[in-house]
Structure 1
Amino acid sequence: MSHTSSPASRADVNSRVTAEIITAIEQGTGEWRAPWFHNGSSIARPTNVASGKRYRGINTLALWAAGFAAGYGDGLWGTYKQWQEAGAQVREGERSTTIVLWREIQASRPADSNDDADDGHRRMFARVFSVFNVAQVDGYERPPSPVLPENERLAHAEAFISNLGIKTEFGGPEAYYRPSADTVFMPDFASFRDPASFYGVWLHENGHASGAKHRIDRDLSGRFGSAAYAAEECCVEILSGLVLADLGIAHHPRPDHAAYVASWLKVLKDDPKAIFTAASKAQQAADWMHAQQPQAEEMAA
């Protein structure tokens, strides 16, 4: 089976993938979750041992700072009781870290009040908790994460990405591209949910690298959370969907792609053309990736 496609058919794929992502966004995509198994091991991503959920807001910063200051290598935290319920015991003499959880409550109104509005009758109150890091407890064994077997690697996708000539380092807890080192960093293949997730994320990060000055020279200077950063994220996630379809790995955009693009479109809500601009830049990057393949050189010759 051939995994190459003509420019015309790629243009058709571009239109279809973009249209399907837009449709999925309009129907509601749910919350995006990283497609590799997060077990809370990153100290920069504090996670609660009982719920498995990430801490949010100021608590993230508080636990991040406390973890780094104490030299902890793991981002798993819990209250004394939560560690007990997990079968572990906080060691005697260990100092806790304080976090705050805010709750909204409905305040009672006078019985003779004729005001039907809720304005002014909802109040926030804070509950303070003391938490301990997994490094401060004994007897805790992290549940084993599922493992994606090596025999599910896809040779044609490996070759396609290898031909891009972009350095990748595996083994960390996060996926990202570092422009200063011109290097993609990826979790191991074994930690992904399925092969399509692995190649989709790898293509996404190579998509960022395609924008480097010595390649396509796309603006990569946007700060996290800015419109420029959001536009770049939308671009490379659509690119990932396009190339997965080109390679025959996922013939339609996966829910992950639509949810991820939707999460960034909120930043671009004042620009109705944002997704079409991102799709155009994605096609440019996809064309660059295809141009790096040996078949492209043979056809040009």
Structure 2
Amino acid sequence: MELVTEFNKLDGRIVKRSELRRILTKAKRQNNTSIVNRISQVLRLHRDKLFTVELTDLIEPIGLNGAEQSIILPTLEYISEEDSVGLNGLAQDDIYGYITDLIINTIEKVGHLPWQKDWVGSGADGAAKNYVSKKEYTGANFLLNFDVKFDDEGKGYLVPIQFKQPYYLTFNQIKDEGASLRKDSKARRVIYYTMIFSFDNGTLQFKTTDREKFAEFVSSNGLTKDDLKRYLQKIPVIKYYNVFRADDCTGLKFPEAVGNKKVNPIEQAQRLIDGYKEPPTYTFVGDKAYYQPATDKLNMPNIKAFKKEESYYCTFFHELAHSTGAKKRLDRDMTGTFGSKSYAFEELIAELGAVFLCSEAGILFQTKENSAKYLKGWNKVLVNELENDNRFFLKASAQSQKAVNYILNRNVSGENEEIEEKKEEPTKKVAIKRPRKRPSKSKVKTTIKEGEQLALFAGLGAKAKTKKRTQKAQNHIQTKRTKASIVKSKGQINVDQNRSINQLQKLGFVTAGAAPTEAKDVFVLGGEIGKFLQKQQPHKALILIKGNKHSSKSQLAMQIANAFGEEEIPVAYIDYEQGGIESKDTLDSINRNTTEKGRSYIAIKGYLDKPFQELQDFCKIVKVIISDSVTDLKITADQLNFLRTTYPKVIWCFISQVKENGAMYGGNKMAHNPTSVIHCSSHPDPRERFATLEKNRGNDLTLKYSMYFKKVVGQPKKKKLSFKVK
């Protein structure tokens, strides 16, 4: 049973201490610090043998678990951010969904993954990299070697790029280089992660994404490693920033080509193989290429059996990537049979490993010579797994990067930093203490390793020192600038400032001093719904209503539709769940939740034949579109983003049912980055069902709304973990 589900199912049960210890051990093994902290503190507080468990705050399985962190984070760039940036990240599912949709759409559009056809790579010279740092994009960011095209339905898919210059820059880097960006150039996403440091011992509370600020907090308060172990949560948040192709810029200077241009690529390919330390046993017999985990043997047909030498090395690289999964190496699951999730995962790792190694060798990538039947079956399995797990590709690409680093004996900085699994220590006697107040939920919920807490200062090592040296230099420069500015007269300073503001205004800026006290489009709906939703602004607005079965989600959606109708704003209501306007459930919902005036502005349809096309038609007519449910609507994140960008004044409202384990139905299809999120609690008695706000763009999140009584009923109770001792 999944750990989070198992923990949530403790609610209402009487369990033995040994049962809690078992789940605690499992949570430590999976590095789920949230569960570890909650159970550990209860066990420290009480020595009883039986517990009656009440969980008023269930854990939602959102974000990366500890095992996924140890796979994915080392292949991503870590960026320490200012608090104003770091505590307001985009939903991680939006990023997972973006990548997953690209892969699925590519398979559906092209019939295969883009690297299953030849593409030109030239090792260190030809792979996509950052213009300033000259670092290649690895892991899932390797997708920057492929362009994103869009089909007639607005679905993005990947095609190989024929670079003139294989560089990307951020918009600020383009400005810093004195270059200009071509009009209508498309941005691409670079995935990275930052860390939320959240400390709360009941007396001291501190939260930041600035690593240096946290180090100062630790130092100024004299915190020990034991304090950090007990009261610190480090929550990694996966985010992205936008970059643009150097080929879309003018005015850039490019370095002379270096790397593998002067090396015979076939010789380079062989060097990569020969450099593999402690490899499996190589054999060259028969016509089958395979890796055999039981005997640690890798077999290849003779090179003369291949039509091209590139195909030979590509196949060799594929099997080499498999060999890194051996227990004595990276210890992956190698037991899967064709059609299973573990088989698809391992094959994707090997496919990507071959791509990465071909790029390192500077050779044309050649797919393994699989039959069309095999590719069709393989793609079907892959798409199924991608739809079920929107992190599937991200995890596979990260594992593949680790495999390649292992083959190349490449010690990637930070790969093992703060993510080593900590072995479970014997239980220590501690003073009985009430469980500390849990940190407030951040927008992105992720779990971390307990071992990371102990290794905090190791994590502040080389990177922090480098940053401090840089900061000192910047402070020195700033001091010199400040001293120089004293020489200027006050009048001269004002002249310089006015000149700068005038120049910015010519570029389309408006001074903050001229800003109105309220954005012009902000509105508040009438009635109790208006009190609950508070201030809204129709700019790419999306209200997401989520909850389990029997939580009155549809009732709330209809009441929201009625509130717009009362304002004489037409609403297009797509009712999959109830069966359309003629169904009894829909009629009951209309009668219970709408007024005579409100319902006269609500139009209902039971289903859509061509959702994406029909929604575009609706956007030209109405300003509010509500769908019950979004899963049945069957549009992708790319399609919805297209609609929200093209028709930014349309307000969307989606209903999503939540699974028993807390995840939303639809997987990556739910990666829509809503502006407001409403959670509806389930209960057998409709009078005990309430809606609360999880996200609402700067509004009060403490309000509680009753769908049964159709009014705001007060603030919700504080959520906490409570164990009654029996």
Which of the two has higher C-alpha Rg? 2
TM-score, normalised relative to structure 2: 0.21
